[in-house]
Copies of this chain bind each other. A is one copy, B any other.
């Protein structure tokens, strides 16, 4: 008998449980048992069935399984067009991390588009009601984000990456400890001998931006550098151009910073450009630390605070799977505790833009 005889793929209709059953000369139930309760089946029978499962290349039909279980194994995710002006985001990494995290639990990401947060919530509710997705992941949840409340109101399961300013006890979220990131940047720079450490960030009002600014400020105070750095805090929009302009403003001060911490790599690139045009060599005359560790940072040898996105993805996914499977089949209450680790620490990646000791006091 020909080993590993492959069915005619051209006209291949997927074999079903029944096909396997007929081939093995058993009832379809026995085949099902072989798959789900192998202990109940006599070894001999099991082997015969398994043989034909392999031979026919049988794969259980997910659609039928999901219908039967009344539970989709899809996690909905809204993919947005790239924000103009911003450099590469870390969005790619997050998406890959999520997909990878879902893999173990045999869940897949389902991508959908929506014009805004409101439409996103509505689309999610529709998708959920139609059984297309079991739950949703919200990316980049900001201070005044309306999506959590909207989904809460619609009874749609979700987990957020990021969090709103209010009501964070009402839904599940995972976030990165942003203050810790900028604080680590300051610590590093202080350790290198810097004392005038500027901050280039977003205007107040944005949660993430505010938290990053807080981290800088707290670390500055902790190191007793408040006086030196008080006036070195500038804010503007998140673009290279704005970063350049803000850096110019700082460099024009009578006592300019010898190091700059920025809220994003995009702003950091702006600072780099300003420094170059100002005649400063980055890494020697001035130190720069960005945030996000985008590919751009690596390419430009820019030190940057890296978010543990892969970890975030895993936490988000496991939290979500806990939530959705709890609905489907309530679990014993004292089960694997959902990870309470919801605030994840970033890590500073040191590159040449900040590796050298501080320049002599000018």
Mark each residue of chain A from 12 to 32: 1 if its CB lies under 8 Å from any CB of chain B, else 0: 101000000000000000000
> Chain B: which residue is nearest A281 at the CB level?
B277
User: Which residues of the other chain, B, contact A79 by a CB distance below 8 angstroms?
Assistant: 95-96, 99, 109
User: Which residues of the other chain, B, contact A96 by a CB distance below 8 angstroms?
Assistant: 79-82, 113
> Chain B: which residue is nearest A101 at the CB level?
B113
Q: A14-B131, A63-B63, A88-B294 are in contact. Are A95 and B108 (CB under 8 A)?
A: no
User: Which residues of the other chain, B, contact A89 by a CB distance below 8 angstroms?
Assistant: 88, 92
A14 to chain B, nearest CB (A): 5
Cβ-defined partner of A63 (8 Å) among B66, B92, B99, B154: B66
- Contact: B111 with A95, CB < 8 Å? yes
Cβ < 8 Å to B, chain A residues 110-168: 110-113, 126, 129-132, 153-155
Tell whether A85 is near chain B: CB-to-CB under 8 Å. Answer: yes
**C-alpha spacing A146/B259, complex, angstroms:** 49
A214 to chain B, nearest CB (A): 27
**C-alpha spacing A72/B65, complex, angstroms:** 13
A-B contact pairs, 22 of them (CB 8 A): A9-B155, A12-B155, A14-B129, A59-B130, A61-B67, A63-B63, A63-B66, A63-B132, A64-B67, A79-B96, A79-B99, A79-B109, A84-B295, A84-B298, A85-B299, A87-B88, A87-B299, A108-B112, A110-B110, A240-B300, A276-B276, A296-B296
Tell whether A191 is near chain B: CB-to-CB under 8 Å. Answer: no
**C-alpha spacing A361/B102, complex, angstroms:** 59
- Contact: B62 with A299, CB < 8 Å? no
Given A82-B295, A85-B299, A88-B88, 5 other A-B contacts at CB below 8 A? A12-B155, A14-B130, A59-B129, A85-B298, A88-B295
Cβ < 8 Å to B, chain A residues 314-353: none
- Contact: A82 with B92, CB < 8 Å? yes
> Chain B: which residue is nearest A11 at the CB level?
B155
Tell whether A230 is near chain B: CB-to-CB under 8 Å. Answer: no
- Contact: A61 with B99, CB < 8 Å? no
Tell whether A57 is near chain B: CB-to-CB under 8 Å. Answer: yes
Tell whether A60 is near chain B: CB-to-CB under 8 Å. Answer: yes
A-B pairs with lowest CB-CB distance, top 4: A88-B88, A9-B155, A109-B111, A240-B299
- Contact: B110 with A74, CB < 8 Å? yes
A174 to chain B, nearest CB (A): 19
- Contact: B108 with A108, CB < 8 Å? no
> Chain B: which residue is nearest A60 at the CB level?
B130
Tell whether A43 is near chain B: CB-to-CB under 8 Å. Answer: no
User: Which residues of the other chain, B, contact A66 by a CB distance below 8 angstroms?
Assistant: 63
User: Which residues of the other chain, B, contact A266 by a CB distance below 8 angstroms?
Assistant: 299
Tell whether A103 is near chain B: CB-to-CB under 8 Å. Answer: yes
Residue of A88, A91, A126 with highest tally of chain B CB at under 10 A: A88
